[in-house]
Amino acid sequence: MEQLELLQKQGFQTGLVAAKVMKSADFDIDSWNKLGILQEGEPIPFVVKYHASKQVDEWEIILMDFANMKNLNLIIKQKAVLSAGTLRAIAKQLFEGLRFVHSKGFVHGNIRSENVLLHCPSGSNHVIVKIVGIDMVKPEERREREIYGETIYSLKRYLSKAPEQVIGDRKVDAKTDVWSVGVVLFQLAGHEHPIKATSISDLLNFIRQKTINRPSTIQDNLLWDLLIHLLAFDRTKRLTAEQALQHPYFTGPQAQLEISAEAKQVASSALQAKQNGNKTIQPSLPVPQSYSSSQLIPAFNTTWKLSDFKKLKKIGRGRFGTVFSMQEIRTQRIVAIKECDYDTEELKSMMNREIEVMKDIIRIIRQSAHQSQFIHVVEPLGFFVNEDEDKAYLVMELCSGGDLRGYIKNLQRIGAEIGAKKCWEFVSSIVSAVYQLHVNGIMHMDLKPENVLLTEDIKVKLADFGLSRKLQQGKEYLTHHGGTTFYLPPELLRAETVQVGAAGRQPQQKRMQTKGADIYAIGVMLYELLAQHHPFIGNDDESADLSELEIVRRIVDEEAPELPSHYPDSLRKLIKAMLSKDPSRRISAEEILSIPEVAANLGGQ
């Protein structure tokens, strides 16, 4: 339970994190404290950030950045043929990360392809590399392992180490890190290891000969020149990370012609990080077809089959379908797939409408002058039906942080409350997302915690647009339009209190629906986030014991109880304004975005 709380509490602040577990007896607290140097100032995206550590029984749990794809070793094993621009971008990011580590006085000491992770940032169609694996083992334990490794796994262990670590003084410094990066790049470009050895004696002979042969797969002369300077047997002639970044392979005319505008952004990302902060950067990398999410998914793919995916787990269920996380077998990318019945004209119309609305929303937002850097809408990636044509599958990007309902339940489970600062972040994110819709004339019409999805870094993306429609001024819609009753505003529910009588339900009345309905739903969700219960269903109530008529009556006639007093007045007043019974007096998304606390949050994104 203690370990679970650590993971959850950290996740509330940083988003999805990875946990490394090691024996506390092996954990070197001095090395951990030194890691704090890497966290000072603005980080760069090419080095994994370590967030926290905690001892649980005999184990040390270390929380760090989460990378949502596999490591670079997979590309090497596949012997993937990388384009010149792809290889250059990977190399550039590795040296940017290594230069950052060395500039902080750190030596990695264990760079290999398994310690270079691949990550697709939220809201981006690009992949970056992240260096991980900095040693936190006590020196005496590390030496004991090295002695064991020399007798058991010596050859494999030393193939990625610099010559001086094998037969020299065994000094580990910045130059040994550069050698290790050279080995990784050689493997990526040459599809083989630079050291040809099947035994320790072969390895020693290879080092004494001081010759590395050029494989036929490395045709680029500048790349080869860079590699032989990275893999120089004399460490004094080996490049530093800073010098490597100035090599003509990265700065020459051919590189300037070949690297796209997005790859140039990668090249200058460290400088951007210092100037703007990491939140505003989405460094790009053109990567091989099996990893590039921009190549991975066409504009909208309709050629997929169910056999193209491996089902992982069920992640949600709604009125119209079940959502699973699935992995595309060819590319190994994990996506969300909504499975729905598709055997009646009504169901087909509903599914087709949701797809078209989602595509339309994405298109409008991307083309709009009001577009922000981050799109707050779950993106549709494809659609297909099964062979019997009775099931339909909508493929969407996966939001790995769960949904707002799960977030609230996690708070309840560990007995925690959300802080005011974090709540303002949610206000900013959710209202900004809805504003993207409203400014483009779209109403969501079914906002609820289950439809507010969270990315791994707790950014908001809206989902489930089956009830959305283009906003038509003066248009009247049926009161009971299909939205969830708990989140419908009083003006849409007022007729319900008189529609149910002894004679049964009367014909539905038409009521005016405006953008204020979405604002009301956000107010209900924010109230739940702070109070951890619905404003009109208290902790002592069980929603299953309340009739729909009673819930409707409370929403229409009663005022929501006051929120806990320890939250700022400005936050409580905002939520009260969003829950106004009178839609004409209800605060708008534009007005909310002008509130200082909201504007400050949005200014930092």
Strand ranges across the sheet with 59-65: 17-23, 59-65, 50-56
338 annotated ligand-binding residue = yes
Give the C-alpha separation, 268 to 149, whole Å.
40
**Crossing angle of helices 2-14/404-413, nearest 10°?**
140
Closest-CA residue to 528 (of 443, 429, 445, 417): 417
Question: Counting beta carbons within 10 angstroms of the beta carbon of residue 429, is it exposed (0 to 12), middle (13 to 18) or buried (19 or more)?
Answer: buried
Integer CA distances (angstroms), 313 to 322, 335, 426, 493, in order: 11, 11, 27, 36
Helix (H, G, I), strand (E, B) or coil at 554: helix
The answer for residues whose C-beta is within 8 angstroms of residue 496's C-beta and 6 or more apart is: 479, 480, 548, 549, 552, 556
Provide the token pair at 380.
């549709």
Which value, to the nearest 10 degrees, does the dihedral of the CA atoms of residues 371, 326, 279, 572 take?
Answer: 80
Output the DSSP codes for 343-376: -SHHHHHHHHHHHHHHHHHHHHHHHSTT--SS--
Closest-CA residue to 62 (of 128, 7, 131): 7
> Is the distance from CB of 80 to CB of 288 less than 8 angstroms?
yes
Closest-CA residue to 239 (of 224, 251, 249, 229): 229
The answer for residues whose C-beta is within 8 angstroms of residue 66's C-beta and 6 or more apart is: 15, 16, 17, 18, 119, 456
Give the C-alpha separation, 468 to 454, whole Å.
20
Closest-CA residue to 278 (of 52, 516, 119, 502): 119
The answer for residues whose C-beta is within 8 angstroms of residue 509's C-beta and 6 or more apart is: 479, 495, 499
> Between β-strands 469-470 and 442-443, what pairing exists: parallel, antiparallel or unpaired?
antiparallel
Q: How far is CA 356 from the centre of its chain?
A: 25
Provide the token pair at 509.
């009345």
Residue listed under structure tokens 């429609």: 469
Provide the token pair at 350.
């509903």
Question: What are the binding residues for ATP?
Answer: 338
Binding site as annotated, residues: 338
